[in-house]
Structure 1
Amino acid sequence: MTQAQFSLKDALFNEAKVEYLGGLLARADSRFDRAGFQRDVMALLPELELKQRIDHIAQVLTSYLPEEFDGAAATIERALPPELDPHKSDDDFGDFIFAPLGAFVATQGINQPERALETLAAITKRFSMEYAIRDFINAHETLVMKVMQEWAQADNYHLRRLVSEGTRPRLPWGRKIVLDHHTPLALLDRLYCDPTRYVTRSVANHLNDIAKIDPDLVLSRLERWQVEGRQTGKEMDWITRHALRGLIKQGHRGAMEHLGYQVDPPIVDPELRVLTPDVGIGEALEFEATLRAVVDTNLMVDYVLEFLKADGSHRVKVFKLKQVTLKAGQVVSLRKRHRLRGDATTYRLVAGVQRVKLQVNGVLRGAEEFVLTQA
């Protein structure tokens, strides 16, 4: 029997979730037609993709919530369940069924931004509103940045995280914002020393976004924060590594040196050996690398896979292998088993000759080919 494939959209947005949301709204307003809401949502929901489901539910809400936005906002706020556990410090994103509430506020409240921002602040304590807030940044930048100065000092860490996450220059799947990437830096100056990893991870991701635009700005900001000493050394190191991860994969000299890695370090040319020269899609590529240091050195070893594309070009992806400190003359052998998934949603594997390369402190130091076949 073939195992049913997991469906994220069905796990996050389904009849039970719609019934739950309808129940909350009905308890908040006795005039809310719970049965009609559920009927209209479910009429189209099964055939829609994830983002479409969010927009669809938000659109249906326009027929069942009060026509005046202030009344609709009040109903939403009364309907919200208790806030997420304030004692947690990470991985508490909330329930996706509240995402349509943010989409509703973004469309129906865009011309009443002060009231709408109050509602988004309430919702984000149950589910992150970083996507909805971007509409207001584009339409009411001055107001939003002023409100975010208050949110950056809020007791609730979900509000503090929204300040960083909502203003990210390249938020995945998020609407593009016209906000200059320098503008939120004053807010990040406060948030980088937050005691909550949920917030500091967002700050690091925000810097990683900026690094794609202005690497020197990110490096100078990190240096400034390290000198200020307002964050613990351990967490500051984590923020720095996470913020520079994109630059490290690119072999950016300044990022490498910032983390204490010499670009093109003195090592004997590594030996790279593919152990599975013929591997099927869905199986695992195995390889090993041997490195020997000439002098004491810190090494950041990555591996690069160059996947063949249907048009004959290659898709390049960089993966972490090992961070190691070697003494002069010391030898280290590294072995890796990398599954070549045939069910990835973001790219398709094509049978043929592929390449694996070794990258040491940002510099390519060896390459070998292998043949990918149909399983």
Structure 2
Amino acid sequence: MASGFSLKDQLFNREKVRYLAGLFAAAEPGFDAEAFEAQVMAELPSLELKQRMTLIAEVLADHLPEALPAAAPVLLKALPPPLDPGRTDDDFGDFIFAPLGEYVAAKGVAAHPDLVMDRLQAWREAGAQDRKELDWMTSHALRGLVKAGHPRAMAMLGYDPELTLDALIAVPDQVRIGEALDFSCRLQGAAGAPVLVDYILHFQRPGGKASAKVFKLKQARITGGVLELGKKHKLKGDATTFKLVPGPHRIELMVNGKVRAGAEFELLPEG
């Protein structure tokens, strides 16, 4: 009986790994393509798709200069020639380049944010990668900066941090530990404007301090000039990694990296 289709084997296999190794060997004389291929293929067959991507990124780090500023020019030089701009087949490009985004993220975007964004922008301007694939790589590499609301990272992903809009968020006055915080929000702005909406919960901690955590809400467009969203956030009383403390709490609505609205609520002991 014939085996079924395997996406992981189509996207990440020996042929693809050898192709990537050849590009880096051509870009950097000291890059050992055979050793890179052997190191990757020793583990790759037993891994799932995302694990394969992580593996290639980790092995790549072993074979490139340790410092990201020194490795970045090699990454740029290793990219293939620009794709045909007249192509209309909606091809996603070669996914073997996806681990480059994983590599950049792992090397410490927080430590070198401008360098990373400069390099991603240079790749985009060079047209050396399929746009959809580069969009994915950019989103993956900048995910930490986006969560922190970094303005340039937001702009690179197509979200205007200075977008003019009105925002409201509504929450109940009180909610008990073990229940769900049922909140709703309303955005009013330019019709069709893309928005990345997150919410921040400021949790009460022992000793009176507060701890903020960012949660994803929605990627959308303000269709018709108005966008209404809602969510029920479960406030688990039995979580082992984060213990809830009764007391005053705050929720904030962050749109395209900027806090646009907020509200207070009282977290009551579990009933």
TM-score scaled to structure 1, two decimals? 0.51
Instruction: Identify which of 167, 189, 197 aligns with 1:293.
Output: 189
| Residues 183, 347 of structure 1: alpha-carbon distance in 2 compared, 3 angstrom cutoff | farther
Q: Which has the higher helix share?
A: 1
Please give the residue correspondences for 1:177-192 in structure 2 after superposition, counting only pairs within 5 Å.
179-185=66-72, 188-189=75-76, 190=78
- Deviation per residue, 1:301-355 (Å, 9 max, x gap): 111111111132122111221222236x722111111112334444322222211
Instruction: Identify which of 83, 87, 91 aligns with 2:9.
Output: 87
1:13 maps to none
Structure 2 residues not aligned, in runs of 5+? 1-5, 13-34, 81-91
The Cα RMSD (Å) is: 3.6
- Deviation per residue, 1:179-202 (Å, 9 max, x gap): 3223443564448998347x62x4
Please give the residue correspondences for 1:1-375 in structure 2 after superposition, counting only pairs within 5 Å.
87=9, 89=11, 121=40, 123-125=42-44, 161-166=54-59, 179-185=66-72, 188-189=75-76, 190=78, 195-196=94-95, 200=98, 202-209=99-106, 210-268=108-166, 270-275=167-172, 277-294=173-190, 297-326=193-222, 330-375=225-270
2:170, 2:185 within 8 Å by CA — same for their partners in 1? yes
- Deviation per residue, 1:16-63 (Å, 9 max, x gap): xxxxxxxxxxxxxxxxxxxxxxxxxxxxxxxxxxxxxxxxxxxxxxxx
1:40 maps to none
Q: Secondary structure at the match of 1:333?
A: strand
Q: Which has the higher strand share?
A: 2
1:279, 1:372 within 8 Å by CA — same for their partners in 2? yes
Q: Secondary structure at the match of 1:305?
A: strand
2:36, 2:60 within 8 Å by CA — same for their partners in 1? no
2:36, 2:59 within 8 Å by CA — same for their partners in 1? no
Distance 1:261 1:308 in 2: 31
- Deviation per residue, 1:87-114 (Å, 9 max, x gap): 2548xxxxxxxxxxxxxxxxxxxxxxxx
Q: Secondary structure at the match of 2:264?
A: strand
Q: Secondary structure at the match of 1:211?
A: coil
- Deviation per residue, 1:82-141 (Å, 9 max, x gap): xx9962548xxxxxxxxxxxxxxxxxxxxxxxxx9998556423557xxxxxxxxxxxxx
1:160, 1:191 within 8 Å by CA — same for their partners in 2? no
Distance 1:314 1:266 in 2: 30
Structure 1 residues not aligned, in runs of 5+? 1-83, 91-115, 129-156, 170-177
Letter matched to residue 350 of structure 1 = V
Distance 1:226 1:297 in 2: 22
Distance 1:351 1:163 in 2: 45
| Residues 121, 243 of structure 1: alpha-carbon distance in 2 compared, 3 angstrom cutoff | closer
Q: Secondary structure at the match of 2:69?
A: coil
TM-score scaled to structure 2, two decimals? 0.68
Q: Secondary structure at the match of 1:261?
A: coil
Distance 1:294 1:243 in 2: 29
Distance 2:124 2:193 in 1: 23
1:307, 1:354 within 8 Å by CA — same for their partners in 2? yes
Q: Secondary structure at the match of 2:215?
A: strand
Instruction: Count residues with an aligned counterpart.
Output: 226
Report % sequence identity.
35
Letter matched to residue 372 of structure 1 = L
Q: How far is 1:292 from its partner?
A: 0.8
2:190, 2:222 within 8 Å by CA — same for their partners in 1? no
Largest Rg, 1 or 2: 1
